[in-house]
Amino acid sequence: MNLNKNYENLEQSYLFSTVAKKVNEYISKNPDKKIIRLGIGDVTRPLCKKVIEAMHKAVDEMGVQATFRGYGPEQGYDFLREAVQKYYKTHNVDLELDEIFISDGAKSDLGNILDLFGEDNTVLVPDPVYPVYVDTNIMAGRKVVFADANGENGFLPMPDENIKADLIYICSPNNPTGAVYNREQLKVWVDYARKLGAIILFDSAYECFISDTELPHSIYEIEGAKECAIEFCSLSKMAGFTGTRCGYTIVPKTLGKLNKMWLRRQTTKFNGVPYIVQRGAEAVFTPEGQEEIKENINYYKENARIISDTLKRCNIRHVGGKHSPYIWLKCPNNMKSWEFFDYLLENAQVVGTPGAGFGRNGEGYFRLTSFGSKENTAEAMQRFEKLFG
């Protein structure tokens, strides 16, 4: 029996598990302190009314012989795929139903999709970046190269013609920096990928936070993208499904074999998302559902504004928060990321995510999320201002 030796090349634990462990250690030593968590991007607003109604109805159907459902289609029920298809149409993107695959979230499929690609592919990943892109490729033993995202390029790296990538990860609006590519910039990436015969793995999990009508929500809004891109999206941040689990992956048929290969992979290794959850997800895309989730998104955007205003008053450089739930800030007093994490936990009992956990270029930066409650966000920022104002 041989173990997968590639695991030896991973950090000892996943970034957010390390943060949670450190926070739990602090709590066990300081049980009376009130901790405010603005670390992991987990939502706090409940599921909206329309979703709950749809789920209740689906639960009742499951208890009646005539409407009970067992295994569903591995690629998702048509009713939800049609809802996703219509949603894309609002961004002027036409998709065929069999290009849409319902998933249990973007994270799972961003990892699972790698089943379709050879181990000898070179993977291009922005740095800093959502750690799942890097870790899943390290697990498979692939060569990972990085595109530097930094203050100079507005945390939006552009292709380097000298790098011959096979797989390219793009996350826009970006996790962790909140930076968003415009159409012209994405077109450059699409042209680069097509020239190389590479595939872009486009993570659009935060597209619902975009408020500027000029900015693209989907890579398929860019000409040529259906020839080179797979897109991953999720209802986690859009509609509060972090615990309920539902998302969708788009594999265009214009990508050749990949669409059929993904169907083959899913029918073999996946049994679909529960019917009850898919009915809830369908409700998100109704006009009432869209109105209700918008209220929650605006609630989080208001939190982002509170954070950003506080940082401005404290003269702390930061980006993001406008088209994204994440605020990416330069650690005050030139502290390193983990040093600042400890300092903030110790002195303000506020938890954020150290930028260094997202890559080498994240060192000296820190990420705060706007997914907390308004009261907690405001209180965290008062504590912050006491230390740095």
Q: Which is nearer to ligand MLT, 35 or 163 (CB)?
A: 35
Could you tell me the smallest distance in angstroms from the CB atom of residue 241 to ligand MLT? 11
Q: Which is nearer to ligand MLT, 40 or 215 (CB)?
A: 40
Q: Does 370 bind ligand MLT (CB under 6 A)?
A: no
Q: Which is nearer to ligand MLT, 130 or 340 (CB)?
A: 130
Contact 326, 368 (CB under 8 A): yes
Positive or negative, the CA dihedral 72, 76, 80, 81 is: negative
Q: Which is nearer to ligand MLT, 130 or 146 (CB)?
A: 130
Q: Does 40 bind ligand MLT (CB under 6 A)?
A: yes
Instruction: Provide the edge-to-edge strand list for the sheet that holds 100-103.
Output: 100-103, 247-250, 229-234, 199-203, 167-171, 122-127, 143-148
Could you tell me the smallest distance in angstroms from the CB atom of residue 7 to ligand MLT? 20
Q: Rounded to 5 degrees, what angle do the CA atoms 137, 143, 148 make?
A: 90
Subset of residues 228 to 257 that bind ligand MLT, contact rule: CB under 6 A: none
Q: Does 136 bind ligand MLT (CB under 6 A)?
A: no
Rounded to an integer, what is the distance from CA 97 to the centroid of its chain? 23
Q: Which is nearer to ligand MLT, 31 or 243 (CB)?
A: 243
Choose the stretch contacting ligand MLT; rule: CB under 6 A; options: 18-26, 40-48, 121-129, 268-276. 40-48
| Closest residue to ligand MLT in the complex (CB) | 41
Could you tell me the smallest distance in angstroms from the CB atom of residue 87 to ligand MLT? 20
Binding mask 63-102 for ligand MLT (x = CB under 6 A): ----------------------------------------
Q: Which is nearer to ligand MLT, 171 or 284 (CB)?
A: 171
Binding mask 97-116 for ligand MLT (x = CB under 6 A): ----------x---------
Q: Half-sphere exposure (CA, 13 Å, Cβ side) for 336?
A: 6
Choose the stretch contacting ligand MLT; rule: CB under 6 A; options: 37-45, 177-185, 219-227, 294-302. 37-45
Contact 153, 132 (CB under 8 A): no
Q: Which is nearer to ligand MLT, 131 or 274 (CB)?
A: 131
Could you tell me the smallest distance in angstroms from the CB atom of residue 131 to ligand MLT? 8
Burial 251-285 (b: 16+ CB within 10 A, else e): bbeebeebbebbeebbeeebebbbbbbbbbbbbbb
Could you tell me the smallest distance in angstroms from the CB atom of residue 174 to ligand MLT? 11
Subset of residues 165 to 204 that bind ligand MLT, contact rule: CB under 6 A: 175
Phi and psi dihedrals of 247, rounded to 5? Answer: -155, -170
Could you tell me the smallest distance in angstroms from the CB atom of residue 92 to ligand MLT? 27
Choose the stretch contacting ligand MLT; rule: CB under 6 A; options: 4-12, 36-44, 143-151, 279-287. 36-44
Q: Which is nearer to ligand MLT, 127 or 166 (CB)?
A: 127
Subset of residues 330 to 349 that bind ligand MLT, contact rule: CB under 6 A: none
Burial 114-144 (b: 16+ CB within 10 A, else e): bebbeeebbbbbbbbbbbbbbbbbbebebeb
Residue 155 structure tokens: 């945390």
Could you tell me the smallest distance in angstroms from the CB atom of residue 172 to ligand MLT? 14
Q: Which is nearer to ligand MLT, 255 or 319 (CB)?
A: 319
Phi-psi map region of 245: left, alpha, beta (phi>0 left; psi -120 to 50 alpha): left
Could you tell me the smallest distance in angstroms from the CB atom of residue 15 to ligand MLT? 8
Comparing C-alpha atoms, which of 289, 326, 291 is closest to residue 308?
326
Comparing C-alpha atoms, which of 252, 238, 384, 364 is closest to residue 307?
384
Positive or negative, the CA dihedral 40, 216, 99, 200 is: negative
Phi and psi dihedrals of 319, rounded to 5? Answer: -135, 175
Q: Does 41 bind ligand MLT (CB under 6 A)?
A: yes
Q: Give the C-alpha separation, 79 to 126, whole Å.
A: 36
Rounded to an integer, what is the distance from CA 107 to the centroid of its chain? 7
> Which residue type is seen at 358?
F
Residues forming the site for ligand MLT (CB under 6 A): 40-42, 107, 130, 175
